[in-house]
């Protein structure tokens, strides 16, 4: 209804604007039977002007209308958001469906055409501060996903690097860079190991061993 204030305040003649139609897929069988049964004796052929009210219809919409109810029914509808149809300057609900038919309410209790357009604009045109807040959250979530992705691709043994692993070359370049970044260049003095194992580690790194040292010092003779 385009002139709701005039109708409610001064009991003026209603003027309705038809913005869309509902097919059989958008209404239940029970509601369709109810409308046909209770509207049979108050339906009239479609016309833009009848004694009870006037009708506004956009020619570009090409909506096929056959009958009108002299006293319109009030229904509750739902849709998948708002959109502007082709050749129209107003918003209407997408994929319109009827949820409920009210038999105890008048068309004066329904929202007006202006109220529907204001509701659609609030849904379609997002406020600037809300848009900025959503972008901020997207950036935060993007950073979180990068951290999670990095933790998934890291090796389970990243935090425990042994000297033997480094000597055998089983750790990749990425692992070596990580260790160097955390504790400085990889050197024997930078690795915290027990004293007895430290000597063994130095032997491994320098290619030395107790067997080689004994042979070099003449303590062990392999010719026997």
In this structure, the answer to whether residues 102 and 169 fall within a common structural domain is: no
Contacts of 71 (CB under 8 A, 6+ apart): 42, 52
Query: Residues 54-103: pLDDT tens digits?
Result: 999 888 888 888 899 999 999 999 999 999 998 888 999 999 999 999 98
In this structure, the answer to whether residues 19 and 61 fall within a common structural domain is: yes
Distance CA 60, CA 8 (A): 30
In this structure, the answer to whether residues 52 and 115 fall within a common structural domain is: yes
Number of domains in the chain: 2
Distance CA 101, CA 77 (A): 9
In this structure, the answer to whether residues 115 and 162 fall within a common structural domain is: no
pTM assigned to the model: 0.55
Which is nearest to 63 in space by CA: 22, 31, 96, 107? 22
CATH of the domain at 35: 2.40.50
In this structure, the answer to whether residues 83 and 181 fall within a common structural domain is: no
In this structure, the answer to whether residues 89 and 162 fall within a common structural domain is: no
Burial-class residue 85 by CB neighbours within 10 Å (0-12, 13-18, 19+): middle
In a domain, 19, yes or no: yes
In a domain, 152, yes or no: no
Q: 């469906």: which residue's tokens?
A: 97
Residue 34 lies in domain = 4-124
Distance CA 71, CA 35 (A): 12
Lowest mean pLDDT among 25-34, 74-83, 192-201: 192-201
């Amino acid at each position: 209804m385009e002139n709701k204030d005039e109708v409610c305040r001064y009991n003026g003649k209603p003027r309705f604007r038809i913005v869309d139609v509902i097919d059989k897929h958008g209404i239940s069988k029970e509601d369709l039977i109810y409308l046909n049964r209770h509207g049979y004796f108050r339906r009239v052929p479609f016309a833009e002007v009848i004694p009870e009210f006037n009708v506004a219809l956009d020619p570009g919409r090409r909506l096929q209308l056959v009958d009108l109810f002299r006293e319109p029914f009030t229904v509750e509808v739902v849709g998948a958001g708002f959109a502007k149809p082709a050749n129209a300057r107003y918003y209407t609900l997408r994929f319109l469906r009827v949820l409920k038919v009210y038999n105890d309410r008048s068309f004066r209790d329904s929202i007006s055409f202006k109220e529907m357009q204001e509701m659609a604009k609030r849904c379609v045109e997002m406020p600037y501060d809300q848009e900025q807040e959503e972008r901020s959250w997207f950036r935060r979530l993007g950073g979180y996903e990068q951290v999670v992705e990095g933790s998934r691709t890291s090796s389970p043994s990243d935090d425990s690097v042994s000297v033997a692993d480094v000597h055998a070359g089983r750790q990749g370049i990425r692992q070596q860079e990580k260790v160097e970044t955390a504790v400085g260049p990889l050197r024997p003095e930078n690795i915290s190991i027990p004293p007895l194992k430290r000597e063994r580690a130095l032997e491994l790194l320098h290619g030395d061993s107790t067997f080689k040292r004994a042979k070099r010092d003449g303590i062990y003779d392999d010719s026997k």
